[in-house]
């Protein structure tokens, strides 16, 4: 009878321990934040741009989060030097249901084509999309040098 009782105590203890680990991983994650959307890859000509996370609302499993960011200044970004007229290619982790492509001009979002302007200068872009998990915006910047 004692060994039968000991067996049940050990079994219940193991089940409670496994359940506790499951809850901890589900609620606090495993070090990777599955609630934050993955960054896209942006190539401008032959150079890969440094993409920064911007405003998003994202859901994963039983967790969801939103973050709101203001539009960055060019000096807040890691700019890449590109050639005038280079094509801008955006590759998302999955095809969005809808996507946007804007250039930031004087603190405003202006719809733009995914091509670098011919004029020398610094250009900041905001791109984004909507997926079943939520929506996300990203920013990056380029520098077109003087000829």
pLDDT for residue 30 is more than 50: no
Q: How far is CA 71 from CA 17, 112, 114, 139, in A?
A: 46, 16, 19, 8
Structure confidence at residue 35 as a pLDDT band (50, 70, 90): confident
> Three-state SS for 79?
coil
Reported as a single tens digit per residue, the pLDDT across 76-127 is 999 999 999 999 999 999 999 999 999 999 999 999 999 999 999 999 999 9
> Three-state SS for 108?
strand
- What are the residue boundaries of the structural domains of the chain, listed by start? 1-32, 41-144
Of the CA atoms within 13 Å of residue 39, those in its CB half-sphere come to: 13
pTM check: above 0.85: no
Q: How far is CA 66 from CA 17, 32, 34, 57, 128, in A?
A: 32, 17, 13, 4, 15
Instruction: Please classify residue 139 by burial: count the beta carbons closer than 10 Å to its beta carbon, then call 0-12 exposed, 13-18 middle and 19+ buried.
Output: buried
Mean pLDDT of all residues belonging to the chain: 87
């Amino acid at each position: 009878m004692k060994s039968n009782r000991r067996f049940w105590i050990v079994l219940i203890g193991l089940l409670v321990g496994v359940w506790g680990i499951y809850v901890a991983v589900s609620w606090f994650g495993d070090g990777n934040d599955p609630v934050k959307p993955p960054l896209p890859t942006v190539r401008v000509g032959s150079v890969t741009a440094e993409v920064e996370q911007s405003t998003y609302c994202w859901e994963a499993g039983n967790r969801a989060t939103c973050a709101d960011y203001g539009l960055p200044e060019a000096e807040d970004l890691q700019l890449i030097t590109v050639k005038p007229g280079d094509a801008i290619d955006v590759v998302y982790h999955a095809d969005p249901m809808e996507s946007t492509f804007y250039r930031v001009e004087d603190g405003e979002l202006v719809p733009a084509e995914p091509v670098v302007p011919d004029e020398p200068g610094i250009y900041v872009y905001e791109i984004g999309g909507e997926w079943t998990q939520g929506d996300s915006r990203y920013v990056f910047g380029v520098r077109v040098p003087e000829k």
